[in-house]
Amino acid sequence: MDLKVRHSLNELWASSPLASLNAAYIEQMYDDYLQNPDSVSEKWRTLFDQLPRINADTEEVSHTGIKDIFKSLGKSAGKHQTKQSVASIDSMAHDARQVHVLQLINAYRFLGHLKADTDPLEQNTVGEVKELSLANHQLSSADLDTVFNTGSLVGPDTASLREIHEILQSTYCRSIGAEYMHLTCTEEKRWIQNYLESIRGKPDFSNETRMDLLHQLIAGEHFEKYLHTRYVGQKRFSLEGGESLLSMLREIIHRSGSRHQIKEIDIGMAHRGRLNVLVNIMGKTSADLFMEFEGKKENSHNRTGDVKYHMGFSSNLKTAGGPVHVAMAFNPSHLEIVAPVVEGSVRARQDHRKDHAGKEVLPVLIHGDAAFAGQGVVMETFNMSQSRGYSTKGTVHIVINNQIGFTSSNQEDTRSTLYCTDVAKMVSAPIFHVNGDDPEAVLYVTQLALDYRMAFSRDVVIDMICYRQHGHSEADEPMATQPMMYTRIRNKPTVLDKYFQHCLKLNLITEEEYQEKIKNYLAALHVGKHVVYEFIPDNHEHSPFIEAWHKYNNHDYDPMAVTAISEETFKKLGHELLALPENFPVHRSVKKILDARLRMAVGEIPVDWGFAENMAYISLMREGYNVRLSGQDSARGTFFHRHATLLNQENGDTYVPLRNLENCDSNFLVINSLLSEEAVLAFEYGYAITDPDTLTIWEAQFGDFANNAQVVIDQFISAGEQKWNQHCGLVMFLPHGLEGQGPEHSSARLERYLQLCAQNNMQVCIPTAASQIFHLLRRQMLMQCRVPLIIMTPKSLLRHPDASSPLEKFTDGQFNTVIGETVLKDDDKIKRIILCSGKVYYDLFDKRQEEGLEDIAIIRIEQLYPFPAKELKEQIARYKNADTFVWCQEEPRNQGAWFSSQHHMRSAIGKKYYLSYAGRPSLAAPAVGTMSMHKQQQTLLVDKALGLIQKTVKQNG
Ligand SMILES: Cc1ncc(C[n+]2csc(CCOP(=O)(O)OP(=O)(O)O)c2C)c(N)n1
């Protein structure tokens, strides 16, 4: 409802004689009526019918109308008063109890979950909820047999208060506690209401379904028990206490395939129950798992590997609607960080299928209760859920809420919110708390959650409240820290015990048949078979990316690629890139840049960084690759250099040249990201590990902000290939350079990346010329392997004239890992060699020219890892008379490349010579806080590298 209208409604209501009734309730009813007149009772419909419909044009009129109605409520004559309305209002006004009954219904919808029977340990600590009592609504047991209108409650139009109360109790206070009244969309609320109220808390499943549920529980419990006795004391993070998870997942897969025509499901989950899910849901053979327990599993591709409960898996599972490809993402120990990785992977799958409505690929995230409430990345991931560049059109979240995190129990230690799921309310997601000991309620809620996601393309949360049968891992003794909780757990029957008793009572199974079922399951497990009958055993893969990865999977690091393009192509692409729609006035500073680019495109002036970067994108797109670039300011470029998106200064329209290429199937997406580093970088990693043919780039606004995403760098980007044989061509743009802007905004922490480098796990480059970034980006896609690429990108250098490159550098050549001396031609004169990386090269160069020094060669190392030893040696070998070698860096001595790379440089120089250091001294912060001190330091280190300081000292001496 329009806020202004709401406001006047409230005012009018407050002054009416019925002010004691619930204004919010009337408002809600009026809202509902506007959406669907049949959703309110006849009396209210008659009343509201007399109001002109509220819309922008008739707002004034409707005010008057409402006023009249309210006057009529007070029995004062009004303009639109009719006999009929007075009669209906009179009856309602006189029977305020009717309104109270409606308020009671509303109270249950809002707060029934507080009294729901969702905790299998029955420790509910909420206490009395007075809003749910009859007395709170001025009703009493004397009213129980009075018949009332049921309003929008699903079911009969009228019922006694007793019946209404029973319906409410069974719908909202049994095994399902539904939180959905916080949703902003009335249609969604109504939809959920219908779903819940139509069964009144008692889902009615077929006996076949019940036997399926029993089978899943047998598998869940006996899988764990089997491992417990076969591998005593080994960590497996048992699912026991939360076995209903299996039927949830199985239902999601089957219903997705059969009802919703989903083709792929991507699951992210932590340690708890992972092995159980892999074997009992996804069809990993128990033989494979046993080999992992016994340490006999061959480590594929000679990688260093990971523990068994972090391994991913994928399989194809039969459903009535066709096969569904199910992938479980590899994940590190670090809880919740896999969530955005899965989202990125799903987005890549959706983009590839052109599934822009999210109808074919579904993300499912399984969380622990403590981690869900505790980890900030959960909030960041929710924040992505409806955003342009990151939405996957809704995720099904499942919380295995065993009410404990390691040894921290829920209420006191792990959070400040009532539920561990409260964070999900930020995106208006419905949350269904469900008792894990009631498998049928769990199943119903699963169907509801999935159907909701498919109907509304939004996130939904199932909070399965359960318990943890053992300690955090099998080695822990939980009685030591949670004696009360574990006394309850030890004295209660398991989920399986309870459900078997239920089935026994219904005569669905005998004790003997039950024992037989257990025996058969264990026999299949023991011999190492697939225990999932839906598993499609042939190797036919249904993921569209399997083919795409074939090209890259078995290649060791090999950066060879032809990256130059012909002059004709360059000019043609340049013009394509610069073609604007007619009458598209851009800002004058942008126009200046675009005009210069027109001259660059024909070779009139050297090509600058911004244009070179855009030319890399368009040339790759014309060769069939997609480009996805995200970062906090990426469309324009933080340093005003990129302008991938152009803005019409007169009407605010945007125009993205790379999205408007004629006859081009490749996608280009540039996104100004959310203000997050951790989730966004993880998302882009997920995208890059899934789609090898999209150049996926994450750009930090300033390089050091990437430290907010350190877990993604440490746990995935640098180690993913060795742990999981997971290849990734992700590019990180990290603006780097000490330019006097203070301790932050200066250093991208080059040293951190170099310290992580080993086994050709990633490439770390510092290109210093426009042609270098062009070739480097093209190399990343054209080479026959996928390895992360970390680029220290420039800031001031973006506009340095000497960093621009002539056209021939694009039509000939490649990315040079080392750039030798470019000006001094007489190699024999060279006595001193300075090695450096990055923008300090230009400072050294300028000062050398200024001083007229002709015996110093400056060699740039543009790729620090994998270290270009051969290329560097070749350059050094040119200078037979050189006897002084200096490494110059602008970063402090304890930072930059010095510690990680000096051994490579020393080995290129040879044992005969010493490599000295010219740079800032060791510093706690990456840079100083004042420009004057910065300049002083910079001058000193440049002078030192060029040998000017020693000379000064000698002359003075
Ligand atoms: C980021 C991170 N911090 C700490 C840990 C150590 N840790 C592993 S499991 C766990 C408790 C998790 O509790 P919960 O999320 O409720 O899942 P549960 O183990 O109970 O299923 C902790 C603290 C971790 N793995 N990751």
Return the residue matching tokens 């208006």. Answer: 428
Find out whether the beta carbon of 337 lies less than 6 Å from any atom of ligand 1.
Answer: no
Distance 417 CA to ligand 1 centre (A): 18
Between CA 341 and CA 345 the distance in angstroms is 6
Between CA 82 and CA 72 the distance in angstroms is 9
Which residues, 6 or more positions from 204, have their beta carbon under 8 angstroms from its beta carbon? none
| Interval 736-763: pLDDT, tens | 999 999 999 999 999 999 999 999 999 9
Joined together, the tokens standing for residue 139 give 């009703």
Q: Are 437 and 174 in contact (CB under 8 A)?
A: no
Distance 99 CA to ligand 1 centre (A): 47
Q: Whose CA is nearest to atom 12 of ligand 1?
A: 405
Pocket probe for ligand 1: among 236, 277, 335, 375, the residue whose CB has the most ligand atoms within 8 Å is 335
> What SS3 class is residue 26?
helix
Check whether 38 has a pLDDT greater than 90: no
Check whether 346 has a pLDDT greater than 50: yes
Q: Confidence band (pLDDT; 50, 70, 90) for 92?
A: low
Distance 155 CA to ligand 1 centre (A): 44
Find out whether the beta carbon of 116 lies less than 6 Å from any atom of ligand 1.
Answer: no
Q: Give CA 749 to chain center in angstroms.
A: 24
Q: Give CA 195 to chain center in angstroms.
A: 29
Distances (CA, A) of 11 to 23, 63, 69, 77, 914: 10, 11, 13, 19, 85
Whether the bond into 439 is cis, omega within 30 of 0 = no
Check whether 62 has a pLDDT greater than 90: no
Please work out, in degrees rounded to the nearest 5, the angle formed at the alpha carbon of residue 816 by the alpha carbons of 811 and 820. 110
Residue 76: the pLDDT is 35
Q: State mean pLDDT over 814-829.
A: 96
Q: State mean pLDDT over 411-415.
A: 82
Q: Are 177 and 113 in contact (CB under 8 A)?
A: yes
Distance 472 CA to ligand 1 centre (A): 9
Q: Are 406 and 256 in contact (CB under 8 A)?
A: no
Q: State mean pLDDT over 372-391.
A: 97
Tell me the H-state helices in 198-273. Answer: 207-230, 244-258
Find out whether the beta carbon of 272 lies less than 6 Å from any atom of ligand 1.
Answer: yes
Closest approach atom of ligand 1 to CA 375: 1
Return the residue matching tokens 């080392």. Answer: 818
Between CA 684 and CA 732 the distance in angstroms is 10
User: What are the contacts of 134-143 at 24+ separation with CB within 8 A?
Assistant: 134/104, 134/161, 134/165, 136/107, 137/100, 137/101, 137/103, 137/104, 137/107, 138/96, 138/97, 138/100, 139/97, 139/100, 139/101, 139/104, 143/97
Check whether 954 has a pLDDT greater than 80: no
Q: Confidence band (pLDDT; 50, 70, 90) for 868?
A: very high
**What is the number of helices (H) and of strands (E) in the chain?**
34, 26
Return the residue matching tokens 């560097």. Answer: 872
Distance 336 CA to ligand 1 centre (A): 9
> What SS3 class is residue 920?
strand
Between CA 466 and CA 822 the distance in angstroms is 69
Between CA 338 and CA 397 the distance in angstroms is 13
Check whether 862 has a pLDDT greater than 90: yes
Between CA 266 and CA 347 the distance in angstroms is 10
Amino acid at 620: L
Distance 335 CA to ligand 1 centre (A): 6
Closest approach atom of ligand 1 to CA 334: 26
Q: Whose CA is nearest to atom 26 of ligand 1?
A: 334
Phi-psi region of 163 (alpha: psi -120 to 50; beta: other; left: phi over 0): alpha
Closest approach atom of ligand 1 to CA 468: 20
Distance 370 CA to ligand 1 centre (A): 7
Between CA 671 and CA 668 the distance in angstroms is 10
Find out whether the beta carbon of 407 lies less than 6 Å from any atom of ligand 1.
Answer: no
Residue 87: the pLDDT is 52
Rg (CA), the chain: 34
Find out whether the beta carbon of 402 lies less than 6 Å from any atom of ligand 1.
Answer: yes
Find out whether the beta carbon of 269 lies less than 6 Å from any atom of ligand 1.
Answer: no
Joined together, the tokens standing for residue 403 give 């009410």
Annotate 107-118 with b (16+ C-beta within 10 A) or e (fewer).
bbbbbbbbbbbb
Between CA 731 and CA 684 the distance in angstroms is 9
Closest approach atom of ligand 1 to CA 369: 16
Between CA 717 and CA 711 the distance in angstroms is 9
What is the per-residue DSSP string for 519-564?
HHHHHHHHTT----TTB--S-----THHHHHHHHHT--S-------
Pocket probe for ligand 1: among 366, 472, 486, 712, the residue whose CB has the most ligand atoms within 8 Å is 472
3-class SS letters over 38-73: HHCCHHHHHHHHCCCCCCHHHHHHHHHHHHHHHHHH
Between CA 857 and CA 848 the distance in angstroms is 10
Please work out, in degrees rounded to the nearest 5, the angle formed at the alpha carbon of residue 394 by the alpha carbons of 464 and 32. 90
Between CA 34 and CA 108 the distance in angstroms is 23
Return the residue matching tokens 């959406």. Answer: 35
Q: Whose CA is nearest to atom 17 of ligand 1?
A: 368
Distance 237 CA to ligand 1 centre (A): 11
Q: Are 641 and 596 in contact (CB under 8 A)?
A: no
| Interval 538-562: pLDDT, tens | 766 667 788 899 989 878 899 999 9
Q: What average pLDDT is seen over the chain?
A: 91
Q: Whose CA is nearest to atom 23 of ligand 1?
A: 406
Distance 468 CA to ligand 1 centre (A): 13
Residue 40: the pLDDT is 79
The helix (H) or strand (E) run that includes residue 630 is: strand 626-631
Distance 765 CA to ligand 1 centre (A): 36
Distance 406 CA to ligand 1 centre (A): 6
**Of 320 and 96, the one with more pLDDT:** 320
Between CA 23 and CA 20 the distance in angstroms is 8
The helix (H) or strand (E) run that includes residue 832 is: strand 832-836
Between CA 428 and CA 424 the distance in angstroms is 7
The helix (H) or strand (E) run that includes residue 694 is: strand 694-699
Find out whether the beta carbon of 235 lies less than 6 Å from any atom of ligand 1.
Answer: no
| Interval 421-433: pLDDT, tens | 999 999 999 999 9
Joined together, the tokens standing for residue 256 give 């997705």
Check whether 572 has a pLDDT greater than 50: yes
Check whether 82 has a pLDDT greater than 80: no
Check whether 65 has a pLDDT greater than 60: no
Return the residue matching tokens 């960093």. Answer: 803
Q: State mean pLDDT over 260-267.
A: 98
Query: For the whole model, what pTM was predicted?
Result: 0.91
Which residues, 6 or more positions from 60, have their beta carbon under 8 angstroms from its beta carbon? none
Return the residue matching tokens 């690759």. Answer: 625
Distance 708 CA to ligand 1 centre (A): 20
Find out whether the beta carbon of 333 lies less than 6 Å from any atom of ligand 1.
Answer: yes
Between CA 702 and CA 680 the distance in angstroms is 15
Residue 3: the pLDDT is 45
Find out whether the beta carbon of 401 lies less than 6 Å from any atom of ligand 1.
Answer: no
Closest approach atom of ligand 1 to CA 272: 21
Per the document, the length of the chain is 957
Closest approach atom of ligand 1 to CA 237: 19
Find out whether the beta carbon of 371 lies less than 6 Å from any atom of ligand 1.
Answer: yes
Distances (CA, A) of 139 to 17, 97, 386, 484: 20, 7, 43, 39
Closest approach atom of ligand 1 to CA 711: 1
Please work out, in degrees rounded to the nearest 5, the angle formed at the alpha carbon of residue 567 by the alpha carbons of 564 and 570. 75
Q: Whose CA is nearest to atom 7 of ligand 1?
A: 406
DSSP E strand boundaries for 131-180: 147-149, 158-160, 176-179
Q: Confidence band (pLDDT; 50, 70, 90) for 29?
A: confident
Amino acid at 56: A
Residue 538: the pLDDT is 73
Strand partners, 160: 147
Joined together, the tokens standing for residue 473 give 């891992």
Q: State mean pLDDT over 351-362.
A: 97
Closest approach atom of ligand 1 to CA 368: 15
**Closest to 869 in 3D by CA, of 898, 902, 904, 910:** 904
Closest approach atom of ligand 1 to CA 402: 20
Residue 61: the pLDDT is 37
Q: How many CA atoms lie within 13 A of 86 on its CB side?
A: 12
